[in-house]
Amino acid sequence: MSRFASRREFLKRFGFSAAMLPFISNLPSLGFENSTGRKKRLVIIFSPNGVVKKNFWPDEAGNLQHFKEILTPLDAYRDRTLVLNGISDKVGGDGDNHMRGIGCLLTGIELFPGNFQGGGATPASWSRGISIDQEIKNFLQSQPKTQTRFGSLEYGVVVPETAVVWNRMVYAGPNQPIAPIDSPYQMFQKLYGNVQDQESLSGVLDLHVEDLKRMEALISREDRQLLQQHAEFVRQMERELQASGPLPAGHLIPELEPGWVIHNDNLPQLTQMQIDLMVSSFAADFARVSTLQFTQSVGQARMSWLGIHEGHHHLSHEPNSNEAAQEQLTKICRWYCEQVAYLVKKLAETPEPGGEGSLLDHTTVVWTNELAEGNTHAMDDIPFVLIGNGLDFQMGRSLQYGGVPHNRLLLSLAHGMGHEIESFGKPEFCQDGPLTDLS
């Protein structure tokens, strides 16, 4: 099979419909320019309100011998995990720590002045800069060899629809927040198209049966297997989405001011659906950068499935001497870690299409937070846990940095993805370059 500069050239030459794009994106034998070479992927996951330090941080630097309670769901992947202690968000300016915590987390630069009033701080607005995920996306999309259909995908789970600085962490540029897609049904439609409503999902593949049959003669036996596996996943997703029925009318968080109690017992199921879609999108090479945002900064999810009926943010303000609150917060943080572990497991179990190993061998997952600790609103020890081998960092370790600016970690993520920029966000926080000792 001769090489094609683009998928659209292939579709035009052989008369396939544009709706076939999702199914041909990752077939090496078709010879698209971005199907050669090792793929690298980055996932950034956000959960709010800090962590319980005593049950989170390893006691010392060096090889990871064991995890504290919160991180134990990742135990099977300890040799592929990197825990970074002493990474500090030093970005000051307007806004309270929750606002700056999420708004500056991936941008590394201040918020604009504005009208969003936080807790006793100067009002603020959106971030002054692009977020690192979008910076990397733009770099990858600028080169034919790393271009994908979407570039990046932004997933949300129970993120309020109201556009406020507390619930936006991704930025296309200064003053340009990007809202995550909160509904797995909407994300499914974006990924696979031709889905006008939930009842029409079963027709997605039926419309292209003839094209699928014709394509089998043009690709290798290995790619036919990949195509069949991908098509079967879509059929399975259709069955699952239809079986679940329409989401309850109240499944999305109402447009409330930050701090009000948010209740959503569907959060576990929605999380799994979004993660399944993310893994599928990577297997199809729809994108090589993704973000997953749980609720928002000041998130008030009430995790009744854990036997916890008080809002997360309220609990995070309890003093460390409140052992009952510490126990509940530990359960909450561990639950978030379990969701990270679910994603990591799915990546590890999914073969890398057209390459060696699994998706996890080519993907790095970064789990982080806007605060170090909820009751102090500290930003001098932001949790950063990296899992997977996509960036070729040396894993299986705990590193202690002693308060370096988190801009240097953002630089390191860009360099790991092949984008060797000299600074990101505030230049003065990048003078020492990327973090040392990662590789």
Q: Are 164 and 143 in contact (CB under 8 A)?
A: no
Residue spans of the chain under pLDDT 70:
1-36, 193-213, 226-227, 229-264
For position 37, what pLDDT does the model report? 74
Residue with the two structure tokens 């909407």: 186
Q: Encoding tokens for residue 27? A: 């077939």
Angle among Cα 198, 203, 207 to the nearest 5 degrees reads 145
Q: How many CA atoms lie within 13 A of 14 on its CB side?
A: 24
Q: Is the dihedral of CA 125, 297, 87, 318 positive or negative?
A: positive
Please name the residue that has the structure tokens 């790619």. 223
Q: Flag whether the pTM goes above 0.75.
A: yes
Strand segments, DSSP code E, in 98-210 are: 111-116, 124-127, 151-157, 170-171, 177-178
pLDDT of residue 223: 72
The owner of tokens 């960092």 is: 393
CA dist 323 to 320, 327, 371, Å?
Answer: 7, 6, 20
Which ranges of 142-266 would DSSP assign to H, the alpha helix?
Answer: 184-192, 203-206, 209-216, 221-244
Q: Tell me how far CA of residue 310 lies from CA of 14, 44, 221, 328, 377, in angstroms.
A: 58, 27, 54, 9, 19
Q: Please choose, from the candidates 425, 439, 373, the residue with its C-alpha nearest in 3D space to the C-alpha of residue 103.
A: 425
Q: What is the pLDDT of residue 27?
A: 62
The DSSP code sequence of 329-372 is: HHHHHHHHHHHHHHHHHHHHHSB-TTSSSBGGGGEEEEEE-S-S
CB atoms within 10 A of CB 289: 27
Q: Is 23 within 8 Å of 345 (Cβ atoms)?
A: no
For the stretch 52-84, pLDDT in tens is 999 999 999 999 999 999 999 999 999 999 999
CB distance 41 to 344 below 8 Å: no
- DSSP state, residue 241: H
Q: How far apart are CA 27 and CA 31, in angstroms?
A: 8
Give CA–CA dist 343/71, Å, rounded: 14
**Is 122 in contact with 134 (CB distance < 8 Å)?**
no
Helix or strand or coil: residue 35?
helix
Check residue 34 and give its pLDDT.
Answer: 59
Amino acid at 407: N
Q: Which of 325, 364, 347, 406 is nearest to 84 (CA)?
A: 406
CA distance 408 to 410: 5
208: closest CA among 240, 177, 230?
230
pLDDT of residue 190: 85
By the 8 A CB rule, do 365 and 388 touch?
yes
Both tokens of residue 36?
Answer: 């050669």
All residues at 6 or more sequence positions from 352 whose CB lies less than 8 Å from its CB, including other chains: 39, 358, 359, 361, 362
How does pLDDT run across 283-292, given as a tens digit for each residue? 888 899 999 9
Coil, helix or strand for 251? coil
Residues in the chain: 439
